[in-house]
Structure 1
Amino acid sequence: MSEAAAVIEETATSTTEGELTRAEQAGPIIKNHMYMAAGLGVVPVPLVDLVGFMAVQYDMTKKIAGIYQVEFSKERVRSIVLSLLGSVLPVALTHTTASLLKFVPVLGTFATALSVSTLGTASTYAIGKVLVQHFETGGTLLDFDAVKMRDYFKQQFEVGKKAAKTTK
């Protein structure tokens, strides 16, 4: 199994008899949302993928927050996601450009589907991992500091890009 595949296949181990840690419970949620993001990347309609990625990441955040019993705020999630994605701005711009290239009949759609899918999957993975890290230290959505988490987000984004290649 490759390193990237191992990242996706998070094997749950028990803390006490049969109980999973909250981080272990979050693993399959992140993985499932990565698959959703990968599928959205091949949607042939420009910018629909971007809206879809936001919806997938929003849903994932809501589910992870539920595991940690953290109060959920739609506005705060939007702010966090946009701030984290801003830390990889050149990648985000590439993602938008790639999505817009879907306007080019046939060739544009096929040429961009893989890159858009990879970027959406990687960002979904990274956001999930950042949230788990933050919640594991007792954080909430209200005290989330995107600036402090940017380096970890960038690191997880790179791991997510590798994992995205095995997600398709």
Structure 2
Amino acid sequence: MTTKTETQNETEIGADIGTQDAEKAQRLDNASAIISNKCKWSAAAGFIPVPYLDLAGLAAVQVKMVSELSELYGKTVQQEALKTTVATLLGVLTTAGLAAPVAFSTVKIIPGLGSLAGGVGMGAVGAAATYAVGKVFVNHFEGGGTLGNFDVDKIKDDLKSAFTSKTAKKA
């Protein structure tokens, strides 16, 4: 037989879990909104007409995104470490046979159609890369991670998977 106190405790525990679930859902919605917004900015950065300056714009958008995600999760942000981490992640995507960002940026050297084709391609690839970086950081932060214990080697496969899943959806 359960007592009134036990029933109250179970109700309170259930309410706490419900509150935690609601907080997590809200946090994930906020994170998704941040990622979505930065994907749009990354796509726009792809249209910067100067070759390789678009890559710098993409990196800046991603640094801002990870900074905002860090704040959402209550993590301290060290800008220099963050810039290095984002640059490393972009390097992972480029060296993994996903060198499209560099190729699309280089195409912009060709006047006219090269700029247009490079902008369209770089915009799509930049948005997919931003999505992948955002998803990797959300998963890391949801698991209790911080920027200090973020290990690029451990998330390489997740990063590549998120990138290819996003580019496959666009194709």
Taking structure 2 as the reference length, the TM-score comes to: 0.80
Match of 1:116 among 119, 122, 140: 122
Q: Which residue of 2 aligns with 1:39?
A: 44
Mapped to 1, the partners of 2:111 and 2:136 lie a distance apart of 37
Q: Name the counterpart of 1:12.
A: none
Match of 2:148 in 1: 142
Matches of residues 41-120 of structure 1 in structure 2 within 5 Å?
41-88=46-93, 89=95, 90-91=97-98, 93-120=99-126
Counterpart CA distance in 2 for 1:87 and 1:111 is 24
Structure scoring higher RCO (CA < 8 A, sep ≥ 6) equals 1
What is the one-letter code of the residue matched to 1:157?
A: F
- The residue number in structure 1 matching 2:11 is none
- CA drift of 1:18 comes to 6.9
Unmatched tracts of structure 2, length 5 or more: 1-17
| 1:46-66 CA-partner distances (Å, limit 9, x unpaired) | 222111101110110111000
**Is the 8 Å Cα contact of residues 34 and 122 (structure 1) preserved in structure 2?**
yes
Does the CA contact (< 8 Å) of 1:29 and 1:60 recur in 2? yes
Is the contact made by 1:121 and 1:161 (CA closer than 8 Å) also made in structure 2?
no
- Code of the aligned partner of 1:81: V
What percent identity do the matched residue pairs reach?
A: 36
Deviation of 1:161 after TM superposition, in Å, equals: 1.7
Q: Deviations over 1:114-138 (max 9, x none)?
A: 2111111111000000000000111
Q: 2:33 aligns with which of 5, 22, 28?
A: 28
Worse-matched range after superposition: 80-89 or 47-56: 80-89
Structure 2 counterpart SS, 1:21: helix
Q: Which runs of 5 or more residues in structure 1 are unaligned?
A: 1-14
Q: Which moved more, 1:138-147 or 1:38-47?
A: 38-47
Structure richer in helix, relative to its length: 2
